[in-house]
Structures are given as C-alpha cells and as structure tokens.
C-alpha cells in the first residue's frame, strides 16, 4: 500500500513538473480544462488520481505521455483497459488513505515527522515566537544537523519546525520569505527520508517542497526542490525522468556565473551534480560528462564547503560526485585513483567526508579487496557514525560479509552484526 501511495505522489509530482516547466499556473491549466484551480492542486498533491478522465485530460493539456501517469496509451484504450485503470486508481485511493499513518515499527519521532507532512493539523509547534529571523536560524540549524549527519536529532527537530513554519506562512507579512524557509525544511525532510529509504513519504515531502518553492517565486529554492525531486526519482528507478527534469531546469538557470550570488551558484551546482548521479545510475556516460563539465564550470565561481552553509557546493563536492560516478560505472581502479588525492584533502562537511570513504569502500569491494573496503568503512564511521547506519551502507557491509565465505575477516563479520545485517 505504501508503494501505491508513493505512486499517487509520483503522478502528482509529474503533473506539477510538466506544468512548472511550461511556466503555467494551476489556475491557467484548470481554466483550459474547465476545472476549478483546486482540482489541479489536489492532483498535484496526489489526491484524485483515481479519476481516469481527469488524468487523461490533463495529460493531453500538458503533453504528458499517458504511461507517465499510469495510463494505457490513448490509441490502445479498450473497455477492458478502462476497467483495469479504474481498478488501479481505486487501489491507489484506498492505499493513500491507509498509508496516512507511518509504517509499523516506526519510532515516535518518525511518526511525528510523517504527520507533519500530511494535510490538516499536524504535530504541535513550539509555541514560541514566529519571527522570521528566528525561523531562519532554526532552518539553518536543521541544515547543519543534516550536514553533520545528526539524523536522530534532525528527525526530532523537523516536526515542530515545519508546524511553526506552516503557521507562520499564513500570518507573516513576508509570506514569500517564509515559503522559502518552509520549502527548505521540506527539502531537508526529503533528503532525510531518502537516507532512511522511506521513498513513499519522501514523495509526500518533495511534493510539499515543490509547492512552497513555486509559491515563493524564488528560482534558487525551485532549483533546490527540483534537485531533491530528481533524487527521489533516481531512488525509485526513474533515472531517465530525473535526467530530463534536471536538464530542463538547469537550462533555465545556467550561465552568467560571474554575476550570480553564491547561494544561486550553489543551488545550480548541486542541481547539476544530481544530474551526474541520475545519469551515471543509468549508465549514461555522455550525459554524466556533460553534467560534470558544467558543474566544474560553476565551481570556479563559488566555494561553500562548511557544515553551517545552507548549500555545500565546491570543487571538492564535484570531485566526490565524479568519484561516485566512476563507482557506478564499475570503474573501480579509476575511482580509487580519483579518491586518493581527496583522502589527503581537508573536507569540512562530515557527510562529504563519510561519502568519500564509503565510495572508496564500494570501489575496493568491486575489486574484491574486502579488507581494504572494511578499513574504508571504519574510517567513514569515524567521520559520521549515523551515516554508516543508513540502509545503503548496511547493505554494502552485508554483501561484503557474505562474499567472505571462508570468514578470513572476522572483524568484518563483527561489524556486520553490529549494524544488524549479519551475512
């Protein structure tokens, strides 16, 4: 059911993406179809996706391929197809209702975070001042928690922060500024949920981020929201769509780097690096090289490489993504060549330091050098202990331990048991 709920969110995000790329408002699209603006808003939030006629109409209006909304091609639609589609959508609707609660076994803080993303009353806020400057500092603190891999504390912090920001959006005279802050909070939530492999609720968070980014009218915030949306797409095995989304958005933002602010450049650079991840995950070397080349050009004009920066982008970050792409392509030897100079470089952001050693461990594992891979993982653990306990890394450790059939590395098996993933 969580998968169906995530699919409904994906469809809503695809509709929003198509509309935003065409620079059309919800009101404009609704008027063209003879609907009220609220119907388009509901669709983009993942509600109402069981209505086949509306989905077909909006797909035609926004030039979305039917299969991207889970529909049969128009020319192939039979009565049986329509009935199957209707059953499919009813399943989505039922699942969406059932999935409003956090998955069984979730911690109280995770449940509170999911509830903060849902429509209607969420967790209580702090009851403290709603001054924009205070909210700005609180959002910055949440970002620092993410960059320093303090995920447990971040999960406890976000629900009340989101609650206070949602309340402030309606009350503040500078609503666009608060919308920017709320979009950033939702972006951070999306990234955290992806770290936890909770893709279903990540769709929910990124939909919120895109809506607030559009409301803010800030291209920097929009680029950041598109970046996390592309990340969700990649995680859900939609890398081609992610590459297209990044490319279309970047085309509107790249250029004139010598006249841009550091925050603008960091947002564009990070968006391009998400393109690197998406392209390399589908084995597209040409697109990967294209995104890397442009990201390197952006990095000539900005270096934001510290835990307290709102966006951590620098030449080091570009080099780390180039390393990650080499690992994705299976070029372990080249990856380790790229990693060695980075191992001697000071990397201030703990998440980035850990990423370097995790990618090195993947490269060593590809070569069959399990002992070296294990040592790299232990170094990564000293950089960011909580980052090593995310599902991606735990799966890597489990795989390495399973391949050590003769148990020549007892310390690797002990580490695997510590992480709760014995081979």
Q: What is the dihedral of CA 96, 101, 104, 108, to 10 degrees?
A: 150
Q: Residue 33 is inside which H or E element, if any?
A: helix 26-33
* Confidence class for position 215, pLDDT limits 50, 70, 90: confident
- Assessment of whether the complete model's pTM goes beyond 0.85: no
Q: Write down the CATH number for the domain with range 1-100.
A: 1.10.260.40
CA distance 287 to 289: 5
Record the tokens describing residue 60, joined without a space. 């035609």
Report pLDDT for 1. Answer: 44
- Pick the more confident residue, 160 or 127: 160
Six token digits for residue 17? 């993406």
Per-residue confidence (pLDDT) for residue 367, from 0 to 100: 96
Instruction: Express each pLDDT in 116-149 by its tens digit.
Output: 888 766 666 666 657 888 999 999 999 999 999 9
Q: Using alpha carbons only, how large is the chain's radius of gyration in Å?
A: 22
Q: Are 232 and 203 in contact (CB under 8 A)?
A: yes
C-alpha–C-alpha distance, residues 365 and 415, integer Å: 15
* Paired residues of 304 in beta bridges: 313
Classify residue 74 by its DSSP letter: G
- Phi, psi for residue 94 in degrees, rounded to 5: -60, -40
Q: Is 90's pLDDT higher than 70?
A: no
Least trusted range by pLDDT, from 70-74, 92-96, 110-114: 92-96
The per-residue pLDDT for 362 is 97
For the chain, the domains span 1-100, 129-217, 218-313, 343-423
Give mean pLDDT, residues 224-239: 91
**Least confident span in 253-257, 356-360, 382-386:** 253-257
Smallest CA-to-CA distance from 159 within 191, 113, 117 is with: 113
């Amino acid at each position: 059911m969580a998968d169906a709920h995530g699919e409904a969110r994906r469809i809503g995000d695809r509709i929003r993406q198509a509309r935003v790329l065409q620079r059309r408002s919800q009101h404009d699209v609704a008027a063209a179809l003879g609907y009220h603006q609220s119907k388009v808003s509901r669709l983009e939030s993942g509600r109402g996706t069981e209505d086949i006629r509306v989905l077909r109409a909006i797909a035609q209006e926004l030039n979305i391929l039917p299969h991207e909304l889970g529909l049969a091609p128009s020319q192939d639609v039979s009565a049986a197809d329509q009935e199957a589609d209707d059953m499919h959508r009813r399943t989505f609707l039922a699942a969406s209702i059932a999935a409003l609660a956090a998955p069984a076994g979730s911690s109280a803080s995770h449940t509170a975070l999911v509830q903060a993303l849902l429509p209607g009353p969420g967790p209580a806020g702090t009851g403290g001042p709603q001054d924009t400057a205070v909210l700005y500092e609180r959002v910055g603190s949440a970002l620092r928690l993410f960059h320093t891999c303090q995920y447990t504390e971040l999960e406890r912090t976000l629900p009340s922060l989101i609650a206070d920001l949602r309340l402030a959006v309606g009350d503040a005279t500078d609503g666009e500024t608060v919308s920017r802050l709320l979009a950033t909070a939702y972006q951070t939530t999306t990234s955290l949920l992806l770290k936890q492999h909770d893709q279903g609720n990540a769709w929910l968070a990124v939909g919120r981020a895109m809506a607030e980014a559009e409301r803010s009218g800030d291209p920097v915030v929009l680029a950041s929201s598109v970046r996390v949306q592309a990340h969700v797409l990649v995680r859900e095995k939609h890398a081609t769509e992610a590459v297209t989304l990044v490319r279309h958005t970047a085309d509107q933002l790249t250029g004139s780097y010598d006249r841009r602010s550091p925050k603008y450049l960091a947002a564009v650079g990070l968006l391009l690096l998400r393109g690197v991840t998406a392209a390399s995950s589908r084995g597209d070397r040409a697109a990967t090289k294209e995104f890397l080349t442009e990201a390197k050009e952006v990095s000539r004009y900005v270096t934001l490489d510290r835990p307290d920066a709102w966006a951590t982008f620098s030449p080091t970050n570009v080099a780390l993504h180039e390393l990650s792409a080499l690992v994705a392509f299976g070029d372990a030897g080249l990856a380790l060549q790229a990693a060695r100079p980075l191992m001697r470089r000071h990397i201030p952001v703990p998440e980035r330091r850990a990423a370097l050693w995790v990618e090195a461990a993947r490269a060593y594992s590809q070569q069959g050098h399990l002992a070296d891979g294990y040592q790299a993982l232990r170094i990564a653990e000293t950089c960011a202990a909580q980052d090593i306990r995310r599902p991606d890394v735990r799966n890597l450790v489990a795989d390495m331990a399973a391949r050590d059939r003769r148990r020549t590395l007892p310390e690797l098996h002990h580490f695997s048991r510590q992480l709760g993933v014995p081979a």
